[in-house]
Amino acid sequence: MSVKTIKQNKVIWHHINKVDDEALEFLKMNFKFHPMDIKDVKGEAEESKVDVYNNYLFLILQFPNLNRYDGRIDFMELDIFLGDDFIITIQKNKLKAMRNFYYKIQNSAGFRKSCFSHSCGYLLYRILDKLYLDTKPIINYISKKVRQLEDQVYSEEVNQETAREIAYLRRKILALKRIFEPQREVFETLSKLKTKFFSNDLDVYFDDIDDYVEKVWNFLDNRKYAMKDLLEVHDSLLTHTTNRIIKVLTIISVGMLPLTLLSGIYGMNINLPFSDSPLIIWMMFILVLFFVFITIFIFKRKRWL
């Protein structure tokens, strides 16, 4: 069965772990929700949002998930209906933190009592607090990866692979920003919400989540610009390294030019000066080679090479 129910005191929690015909029929038969909300439950939302009605609110939240196989940032959607004496959570995707929280409430009487001790709004806070706590490893991963790339860029390991890693990390940061950006407005609304089913004493709890979302947003915003600056530094260092290589190759090519010219001239089948004296020819080659070494030595002394 996709609909599971836990009831204690005056709080009823219906948890739906799969959106199917049974779950939709349960919502339509037992509650008078707006048809647009049911439509959102059927489909997949583009971003987080909150809709407030006279006797309930409808909340859509997206939580990031780091895919271990390809390193991409996916999102897990959770739809929530909250009323005066009920809360309904609808899990669109596999959400490990949500599953663990539900079974902990189901199996631990003490934990269930603490979560159901106030109101449905407080239970909502406990659920969201757990889910956002589960996002911290992803934020820590981003922070650690940024530091590693900074060390890599300013070391001798600058290469094209480093640039690719910076680009991939910036992509992850932008994906997280797309998830957290609409949530800033959602929790700003919840922290200031005044309705009969959302008591005033909940402000401090949702302010706490609002602060966390804002901190994550600022962190991601700073890291986005840090990655942009780091990529510019990387490109600058890579260009500088390439220029040095080109300069060395150019100097070697110019230095070898007299020898190439001399060997080309005396390789022709015509009468040339000293062509009948191999010793003088070898002395000419040695003199030109000596000139090349002197030129390279002067360049090294003046740090042009």
Pairing relation of β-strands 49-52 and 11-16?
unpaired
**Can you tell me the distance from the alpha carbon of 162 to that of 281, in angstroms, rounded to the nearest whole number?**
51
Average pLDDT over residues 262-268: 68
For domain 3-239, is the CATH number 3.30.460.20?
yes
What is residue 74's predicted lDDT score, i.e. its pLDDT?
A: 82
Tokens for 119? 């109101």
Q: What is the pLDDT of residue 275?
A: 60
What pLDDT is attached to residue 28? Answer: 87
Q: Residue 1 pLDDT more than 80?
A: no
* Residue 265 CA: distances (Å) to CA of 55, 270, 279, 280: 99, 9, 17, 15
Q: Where are the domains positioned within the chain?
A: 3-239, 269-301
The percentage of the chain sitting over the pLDDT mark of 90, rounded to a whole number, equals: 1
Q: Can you give the pLDDT at residue 81?
A: 92
pLDDT tens digits for 128-187?
989 898 889 888 988 888 888 888 777 765 567 777 888 888 888 888 888 888 888 888
What is the spatial distance between Cα 214 and Cα 198, in angstroms, rounded to a whole number? 22
